[in-house]
Amino acid sequence: MSNLTPPTRTPAFEARLRKRYASERRFKLLGLGAIVFSVGVLAILLFNMASNGIGGFQRTELAVPIDLAQSGISTDPAVLAQPGAIQSLEAQGLPETVAMSAVQALGPKGAEELNPSAWREVAEALVDDPSLATRSETFWLPATRGLAAAHGGGGSPELQAVARELAASGKIERNFDGGFLTRSDATDPQAVGIWGALKGSMLTMIVTLLLAFPIGVMAALYLEEYAPRNRWTDAIELSINNLAAVPSIIFGLLGLAVFLFLFPSLRSAPVIGGMTLALMTMPVIVISGRNAIKAVPPSIRDGALAIGASPIQVVFHHVLPLALPGILTGTIIGMARALGETAPLLMIGMRAFVATPPDGFTSPATVLPMQIFLWSDEIDRGFVERTSAAIIVLLLFLLAMNGLAIYLRNKFEKTW
Amino acid sequence: MSVSVLFLLALGLGLAGWIAGRARAWAFRKVAPDGRLTSLPNYHAWYVALWIAVPVALFAIIWSVTAPSLILQSVLSTPEASQLPAFGFQRDNILREAQAVASGAAPAVFNEAAKPLIEPFRDAMAQYNLMGFAAALVIAFLAGAFAYLRLKPDFGARTRVERAVMFALLLASLVAILTTLGIVASLVFETVRFFGMVNPIDFLFGTQWNPDPMSSADNPDPARYGAIPLFWGTIFIGAIIAMIVAIPLGLMSAIYLSQYADPRLRKWVKPALEILAGVPTVVYGYFAALTVAPMIRDFAQSIGIASASSESALAAGIVMGVMIIPFVSSMADDSIAAVPSAMRDGSLAMGATRSETIRRVLIPAALPGIVAGIMLAISRAIGETMIVVMAASTAANLSANPFDSMTTVTVQIVAMLTGEASTEHHTTLSAFALGFVLFLVTLSLNFIALRVVRRFREAYE
Amino acid sequence: MTRVHDNLEPAEAKMAANHVSVFYGDKVAIDDVSIEIPNEYVTAFIGPSGCGKSTFLRSLNRMNDTIPSARVEGEITLDGDDIYKSGMDVVQLRARVGMVFQKPNPFPKSIYENIAYGPKIHGLATGKAELDEIVEQSLRRAGLWEEVKDRLEDSGTALSGGQQQRLCIARAIAVDPEVILMDEPCSALDPIATAKIEELIDDLSGRYAIVIVTHSMQQAARVSQRTAFFHLGKIVEYGRTSDIFTTPLEQRTQDYITGRYG
């Protein structure tokens, strides 16, 4: 027997082995390539948004020294503390004062180079700090969109010349624009902000959470703990599994056909958006909730039942508290998905131009992803940057939510 | 008075009932022979509270639906309303505006004709608000008194409260069925209306899609409603281009991560893929439209395809594929993990290399799960909206050239519903018909996939 | 230390372990074991559960490599070459040292493909005819041919448990290994299937070096010529099977085979 070489020790076998190892390496490399590509795309996407978005947190501003002490505007601190202070300043000719100062500082066309909203910023600064009225102060005020584009290298040749001239004397600059987070939508990229959309998103998410969380948790408890095995239960389970996979746009059609039919006056209101997204989020919460409930060991139920607790008490005193971290993790993930959702809201008309932040659940609003969509349609270079900046804000919110979910999962994850 | 006030009223009165019920139960406790009740005082409290809060809340819901029309009726019966234009758009506008001012939602009217109606609206609102408030109080009192009087030391409050809780749980789980029914009903209803105007055969098999929102609302031209180009565009972008990107990359990523990667690398890459899955589609859409689409057009033109569109199917499809990668990867990961490790050991013990084991044993064994995952991925891709709305075109082309512009079902749904046409117009209705087709297709894909997955899991358990 | 019976007839050592220790993380599973596996003999490893006999078996064809925390110290040789030395090819090693697992694990493929898998990946057959020949030979040697010759295209998982295990043995011998390791091959089988496997092992001995881990002393007595008794990660006693069972040198061996613990 031993004098015959086994087939696994022949030179042919070993030659073949080298080929097999080469193919092994190729295969492994292919896998690594797939990972590198996927992560690379993510990196490119984030880099793309970040590099564009940094510009979105800035705006082009002009230096305008304004001597409010000489302007003759009454700046009694008591008046400035009142709600109508800005209108009162407008009536007293603050816009004209600002315009004149601009002409003095920037030349005859100075007033036209300044953004129409510029005086309002002076007025707000004055309300914040009435002592400004007693001295001359240099304000950095937003330029017009045309001049801003020219400063960025676009726009008309004439404006580019103006911008170069101003830049030579240091009177035009791109500065960090904190107001981007506190203003709302506008037609002028120099004057837009995302506060309105952010507030709309928050209101919508509150409605979604208030509806989807209790209903989702209750449905999960029922299905996992109490539901008898019958056709009804099967139908409920089938519905939930399918709803979790129905395209989001279909939920939008449902919202349009049902919610807007019932409440036509609430078009583009956060309450309708929230209801629509709640229907979409609920199945996610039910599915993750059921998994969390399933993970609670039966021995705990048996123990509680054995000391005479009713089935309801068993679930609400023992099972639910133990399953809650898992349910919360699923809820946060579902809410993060709802926060980034656009298509269903497009269907129910949350695409309006909303220049003032919504002041309630029933006032017209837009949401962050919708704002991104609306701005992405604008061709102005200024809006490209603003869009990316809004995307950064949205991604930061989502990252925070997902981070919280992962933290919860790691902190409370138990293996029984 | 808004619904929220009625709901607050329900909560407040419920709380009052809770306190009253609890006090009564405590009183029983003092006089009861052995100081024990059948149920704890809290259950008595909840019993009363539920009897108050639930009827008032139900009333609030009914009232919120009926009150506006009652208010409108009473306003229309006033002499001021006789000045209104008889019918139509303008009349509705005037009424809406007057109502908005009367309720304080708007500061002043825009249309002079609405002015005289403000007062009647205000009066009617005040009157009906008062009525609603009074009715809520009466209901609360009657229901609360009924519940309160039923409390006794040996009253089984706990079983009744628990029965109510159980009922609430059942109701909550029925929301899922209601939603499904709501989706089916709204889609079917509008689709039937659409098919009343356009023959389903023309719709499903026509090759020209060119709806005209300006045309007469009654007589659509069926020749403009051929949805084949949309179906083709959807399949070409979502099921072909996107899958050519997503399947190999997702599968290979899953294989590398689960079979080769160092645990430290896995710890970093897995969350990165999860982030990729968590990026909102509107961001992908923006990326596709702003970065990928111009790149692909320039590339196509540089290799001599002058007709390449900046809204090419390729750009939308590739970005959609990238979006789907984590989905395919996690489905494949699950399926491969479900294959018993004895299979892997068996193959390795035969002297197979790892890649031979993966290709010849693990993947064939996991194939049903992987195929189901791909079906779910396709279902997700064809229902995806924002990427195609932003990066694909609205022009319906029947073409197999990936550099051509193409449109999809979801793009057309958005286009038809965000246009100028009224809700009754056939262009609007066509969106629902498209939605219905989309719903049916994704539903069947999911249904089959879930069954395959289940059978696959059972095979290894 | 291992007590080795001194009446062993000389035999060619196919494999040998010298001072082998196996660790799982910090835990010692095998502690300084030395043993020779004679060619053309059946060697049985017996011992109570958790004594490390399966771990040791898995280190003989480096299947422990698939467990990230496992670490092997010492020297294990196959025909005198250290199988843990850096130049040793693990794929070739496993082709030479086949293995049959505790639970039958046929691939979810046809019976034919299950047997053909090894010859295919190793390129042992040059054509379809030769492959058919290998499949038939292997199934014949595993005593399964008559039962499955008409349904070679059926799935391997559709066979009964005993047939599946014989299929796995056929799969292992299809690549013509030099050593076959069997890890409690009958523990999941009924007595009739077990009898068939034992008969098969008997037929195969004399062609290969066979190592069988078993917790059934009767089985060890029936099929093996040599027996090693493992306890707490060490080999307590090693010798001819008949000697181990009739005249054990160690009290612990005596206690185990008489059923005092196990």
Residue C259 touches partner A, C-beta closer than 8 Å: no
At residue A346, does pLDDT exceed 80? yes
The reply to whether residue B349 touches residue C98, judged by beta carbons under 8 angstroms, is yes
The reply to whether residue C89 touches residue A17, judged by beta carbons under 8 angstroms, is yes
| Local confidence band at A1 (pLDDT 50, 70, 90 cut-offs) | very low
The reply to whether residue A214 touches residue B172, judged by beta carbons under 8 angstroms, is yes
- Indicate the average pLDDT of chain B: 87
- Quote the pTM value: 0.86
| Local confidence band at B279 (pLDDT 50, 70, 90 cut-offs) | very high
**Looking at residues A379-404, what average pLDDT do you find?**
89
| Local confidence band at B106 (pLDDT 50, 70, 90 cut-offs) | low
Residue A13 touches partner B, C-beta closer than 8 Å: no
Q: Which secondary structure element, helix H or strand E, spans residue C108, and what is its range? A: none
At residue A143, does pLDDT exceed 70? yes
Q: Which secondary structure element, helix H or strand E, spans residue C161, and what is its range? A: helix C161-173
Q: What pLDDT sits at residue A414? A: 64
CA distance B352 to chain C (A): 6
**Looking at residues A135-146, what average pLDDT do you find?**
84
At residue C117, does pLDDT exceed 50? yes
Max intra-chain CA distance, chain A? 116
Model confidence over B13-26: pLDDT tens digits? Answer: 889 989 988 888 88
CA distance B184 to chain A (A): 9
Interface test with A, best of C78, C122, C134 (most A CBs within 10 A): C122
For residue A281, list chain B residues with Cβ-Cβ distance below 8 A.
none
Q: What pLDDT sits at residue C262? A: 56
Q: Which amino acid is at B50?
A: L
For residue A311, list chain B residues with Cβ-Cβ distance below 8 A.
162
DSSP string, B195-259: HHHS-HHHHHH---B---TTS-SS---GGGB--HHHHHHHIIIIIIIHHHHHHHHHHHHHHIIII
The reply to whether residue A346 touches residue B443, judged by beta carbons under 8 angstroms, is no
The reply to whether residue B350 touches residue C101, judged by beta carbons under 8 angstroms, is no
Burial class (CB in 10 A: 0-12, 13-18, 19+), A134: exposed
Chains that touch A (3 or more CB pairs under 8 A): B, C
- The answer to whether B71 touches B121, Cβ cutoff 8 Å, is yes
The reply to whether residue A1 touches residue C40, judged by beta carbons under 8 angstroms, is yes
Residue C80's CB is within 10 A of a number of other CB atoms, namely 9
The reply to whether residue C121 touches residue B350, judged by beta carbons under 8 angstroms, is yes
* Residue C33 backbone dihedrals phi, psi, to 5 degrees: -105, 135
The reply to whether residue A256 touches residue B417, judged by beta carbons under 8 angstroms, is yes
**Looking at residues B153-159, what average pLDDT do you find?**
82
Strand order in the sheet with C70-78: C27-38, C13-24, C70-78, C81-82
- The answer to whether A38 touches B273, Cβ cutoff 8 Å, is yes
At residue A52, does pLDDT exceed 60? yes
- Indicate the average pLDDT of chain C: 91
Residue A200 touches partner B, C-beta closer than 8 Å: no
At residue A2, does pLDDT exceed 50? no
The reply to whether residue C122 touches residue A16, judged by beta carbons under 8 angstroms, is yes
CA distance C178 to chain A (A): 8
CA C174 to chain centre: 15
Residue A78 touches partner B, C-beta closer than 8 Å: no
**Looking at residues C225-240, what average pLDDT do you find?**
93
The reply to whether residue A13 touches residue C92, judged by beta carbons under 8 angstroms, is yes
At residue B38, does pLDDT exceed 80? no
For residue A22, list chain C residues with Cβ-Cβ distance below 8 A.
none
At residue B89, does pLDDT exceed 80? no
**Looking at residues B230-244, what average pLDDT do you find?**
95
CB-CB: which of C95, C101, C168 is closest to B351? C95
Q: What pLDDT sits at residue B86? A: 65
Lowest mean pLDDT among A102-111, A242-251, B329-338: A102-111
- Residues in A 317-336 with any Cβ partner in B closer than 8 A: 336
Nearest one of A327, A304, A309 to A224, comparing CA atoms: A327
CB-CB: which of C92, C99, C109 is closest to B349? C99
For residue A12, list chain C residues with Cβ-Cβ distance below 8 A.
123
- Residues in A 10-29 with any Cβ partner in C closer than 8 A: 12-14, 16-17, 20-21
For residue B346, list chain C residues with Cβ-Cβ distance below 8 A.
101, 105-107, 168, 171
**Looking at residues A263-276, what average pLDDT do you find?**
88
Structure tokens at B30: 């003092």
For residue B343, list chain C residues with Cβ-Cβ distance below 8 A.
105, 107-108
Strand order in the sheet with A58-67: A136-142, A58-67, A172-176
Residue C89 touches partner A, C-beta closer than 8 Å: yes
The reply to whether residue B385 touches residue A373, judged by beta carbons under 8 angstroms, is no
Structure tokens at B350: 């035969």
Lowest mean pLDDT among A19-28, A97-106, A367-376, C184-193: A97-106
More confident: C260 or A121: A121
CB-CB: which of B105, B175, B376 is closest to A282? B175
Interface test with A, best of B163, B181, B183 (most A CBs within 10 A): B183
Nearest-CA residue of chain C relative to A12? C123
Nearest one of A290, A314, A289 to B162, comparing CA atoms: A314
Model confidence over A171-227: pLDDT tens digits? Answer: 888 888 888 888 888 888 888 889 999 999 999 999 999 999 999 999 999 999 998
Q: Which amino acid is at C113?
A: E
Distance between CA C48 and CA C213 in Å, rounded?
11
Count CA within 13 A, CB hemisphere, residue B168. 14
At residue A266, does pLDDT exceed 60? yes
CA distance A324 to chain C (A): 34
Distance between CA A374 and CA A365 in Å, rounded?
13
> What is the value of ipTM here, to two decimals?
0.90
Distance between CA B161 and CA B48 in Å, rounded?
9
CA distances from residue A127 to A356, A357, B91 in whole angstroms, order as listed? 20, 21, 44
The reply to whether residue C63 touches residue B352, judged by beta carbons under 8 angstroms, is no
For residue C95, list chain A residues with Cβ-Cβ distance below 8 A.
8, 13
Looking at residue A10, what DSSP letter applies? S
Nearest-CA residue of chain B relative to C177? B350
At residue B1, does pLDDT exceed 50? no
Structure tokens at B443: 């539903």
More confident: C184 or B107: C184
| Local confidence band at A377 (pLDDT 50, 70, 90 cut-offs) | confident
Interface test with C, best of A5, A8, A10, A25 (most C CBs within 10 A): A8
Nearest-CA residue of chain B relative to C176? B350
Q: What pLDDT sits at residue B91? A: 74
At residue C94, does pLDDT exceed 90? yes
Model confidence over B121-136: pLDDT tens digits? Answer: 888 888 888 888 898 8
